[in-house]
Structure 1
């Protein structure tokens, strides 16, 4: 129904990228050269493009200069490769280059996720053997201790997700009502929330 408005720089972006890579970073100078090539846009369009490009490069440099926290590393190593931004991809590559054991740990975690999604109980024992010799050995030991529950989660079609969702909703209403009313008001809120 609605047409997306084409950017006036769209045609000139390859030339602008080449100029930027060659070291020409002045937005006004780029605009002057573009007008000689037939660009009819205003100076602000080109200077804003240069500013956005400069900020993106600065963010990429900043992301590489500071060491990410352990929580950030764990999140980056468990996200799918297709869902990472450019700076996150560069960070993951630097992490994997510096700590090769994390590559193996990432593969082990991905194998566990695939095993759960595919409901493949036959892969549990080989996965446990592989995981015990990696950085996720503590997690593998926990899975081995609770093997019956993990096997049931993989092989059975049932889930307690619906129950957990209802309990969470009930606790939320309870916290909202804390100190405000008696049991009859809480009951009305819970029944009304259902």
Structure 2
């Protein structure tokens, strides 16, 4: 489902997971049902937020490197120049 972007198989997987008898898997499958439309769209569409997450991760790394050493102005300059 994940690599082939086949969200149509999600109901079948949720049913199997809920009847598997594994507590963690069945709890996870039950939580997927609470926001089913979003999960199915995430499994069916080719879009993802990988680039945004990468940028946020880089900014957090710079912030951790500079912790206690500089103010917001220097952090902003480093982010813009990087």
Shorter-chain TM-score category?
0.7 to 0.9
Residue in 2 that maps onto 1:144: 33
User: After TM superposition, what 4+ stretches of structure 1 lie above 6 angstroms from structure 2?
Assistant: none
Q: Measure, in 1, the Cα distance between the counterparts of 2:33 and 2:70.
A: 46
Deviations 1:132-180 (A, max 9, x none): 0111101111211121221111111110111111111111111111111
Residue in 1 that maps onto 2:6: 120
Which of 19, 28, 35 matches 1:133? 19
Structure 2 residues not aligned, in runs of 5+: none
Say if 2:8 and 2:40, in contact at 8 Å, map to a contact too. Answer: no
Q: How many residues align?
A: 79
Deviations 1:9-56 (A, max 9, x none): xxxxxxxxxxxxxxxxxxxxxxxxxxxxxxxxxxxxxxxxxxxxxxxx
Alignment of 1:155-194 (within 5 A): 155-193=44-82
TM-score, normalised to structure 1, is: 0.39
Say what the alpha-carbon RMSD is for the aligned residues. Answer: 1.2
TM-score, normalised to structure 2, is: 0.85
Q: Measure, in 1, the Cα distance between the counterparts of 2:8 and 2:68.
A: 52
Structure 1 residues not aligned, in runs of 5+: 1-114
